[in-house]
Amino acid sequence: MSAELAAETEEAELERVLQAAADVAPALAETTPAERAGWLTAAADALDAAADELVALAAEETHLPAAPRLRGELKRTTFQLRLFGQVLTDGAFLRATVDHADPEWPMGPRPDIRRVLVPIGPVLVFAASNFPFAFSTAGGDTASALAAGCPVVLKAHPGHPRLTDQTGRVLLAALLAAGAPEGVFAVVHGRETGVTALKDPRISAASFTGSVPGGRALFDIANARPVPIPFYGELGSVNPVVVTPGAVKARGEEIAKGYAGSFTLGAGQFCTKPGLVFLPAEHGLDNALKSAVDGVAAQEMLNDRIAGGYSEGVAALRSTEGVEVVAAPENAGSGFAPTLLSTTAENFAKGSEVLRHECFGPASLVITYSSQEELIGLLNGLEPGLTATLHAEESEVDDVRPLLAPLARIAGRVLYNDWPTGVTVSWAQQHGGPYPATTAPTTTSVGTAAIDRFLRPVAWQGFPDALLPPALREDNPWQLPRRTDGSPQIL
């Protein structure tokens, strides 16, 4: 199961990569949104053309199935590259705002002042283990940083080094062929290499998807620099699900099947896996839950380290006082079978902290509650995460409404009668949440708004039109939607 480790990037090569990113950053910031849209489309086309080779490599290194999982993930990766091309074409992401000089302004005479977002500079992206395409080399962080006009230094994940290098070669060749300058993208390997790069003053922002300990350590490094930088870390999440009595009565067996399918999807190695499910006491779904979980085949995990962590996590959960096993099929070969456990609200409230933290892998915990008041108390005590889900009936609207504020408080995305795994890439998507779900709760790492992480605002006051950035000139040469003197200007 162990992945082949790549050699640590040599110091001289890292220096070359960092300097190249710093050198190209000003020129990259001067490129037009239309130019960058062309680069991203070319990159998507090249990755699609290399799909057979890349999917085979990914399957070998990660043990994930080639179809439909990896082919679907690569399709998602190229889709989001093209979607960011649409973001660039639309132009609203720049938030161009023009306030003309106004001698009658109520606060006193107002100067001509114009505001626009600009690229933040070279970005260090730490690739994720569990999504070797969509959150890795050419994934969402890379796509959104390139779209913003930032050079990217990609720190490879040790779980799929050969895939990372090959994807990086395909991506870079496509970018350069489409007109992007040298230094726009590079791959580096090694834990110490990543730390060194994060500390380097030429890096202006960083992103990360992974564990709480690893992400927090990097976050602290980013903030301890002489000049701190934004660090966009996606860390841990238990993603609670609440099921109401009405939902159990109306479609309990369906919910049991959906729950089992969600928490075991991809061997439970999704950041949005539902780790806690709150069911009403006397729900009567034990048999349905056991049957659904028993029907899930054992699956291989990404690597030995993750498999070891999962085994330790399940052992800790099973040994916690008051926790009972609902279903735990026998492991088969090198695969890992899912584990479903249960406890009461009382035991959960007074129990070990292990019950409240993410167990990365195909394990989940049912908590039974006796009243709405008890349920709200449990929700108020939960650690925030990426998602919170509610399964209810329309006839329960008055009973459900008090649950909405607690659910929204602990999550960046709240779902109704759905399951949190399967995060679509769209304009309205929010993939983030309060710490420890992320280190930057006002941002998202999925969807078009992810570009905001790698932009910063600059206001230009009193400048003649000829010296203004194109996005702010009076004739609006890029034909951007802008706010002018307080009024939206939609083209």
DSSP designation for 399: H
- Alpha-carbon separation of residue 214 from 78, 153, 223, 281 (angstroms): 28, 19, 15, 37
Cα(51)–Cα(293) distance, integer angstroms: 33
**β 363-369/339-344 pair status:** parallel
At residue 352, what is the residue type?
A: S
Cα(40)–Cα(63) distance, integer angstroms: 29
**Both tokens assigned to 390:** 């509610």
CA angle at residue 262 from 259 to 266, to 5 degrees?
150
The torsion defined by the Cα of 25, 30, 35 and 36, in degrees rounded to 10, comes to: 40
Catalytic residues: 234, 271
335 CB-near residues (< 8 Å, 6+ apart): 297, 298, 299, 300
Cα(57)–Cα(48) distance, integer angstroms: 14
**β 339-344/455-461 pair status:** unpaired
The torsion defined by the Cα of 170, 20, 119 and 201, in degrees rounded to 10, comes to: 130
Please, what sign has the CA dihedral across residues 293, 298, 299, 304? Answer: positive
- If you count DSSP H runs as helices and E runs as strands, how many of each does the chain have, helices first? 14, 17
Nearest to 338 by CA among 412, 418, 427, 275: 275
SS3 state of residue 326:
strand
Cα(373)–Cα(403) distance, integer angstroms: 10
Nearest to 253 by CA among 213, 290, 281, 226: 290
341 CB-near residues (< 8 Å, 6+ apart): 317, 318, 323, 324, 325, 326, 363, 364, 365, 366
Residue listed under structure tokens 């695969």: 335
Cα(224)–Cα(401) distance, integer angstroms: 43
Would you call the peptide bond into 280 cis, given omega within 30 degrees of 0 as the criterion? no
Residue listed under structure tokens 């350069």: 176
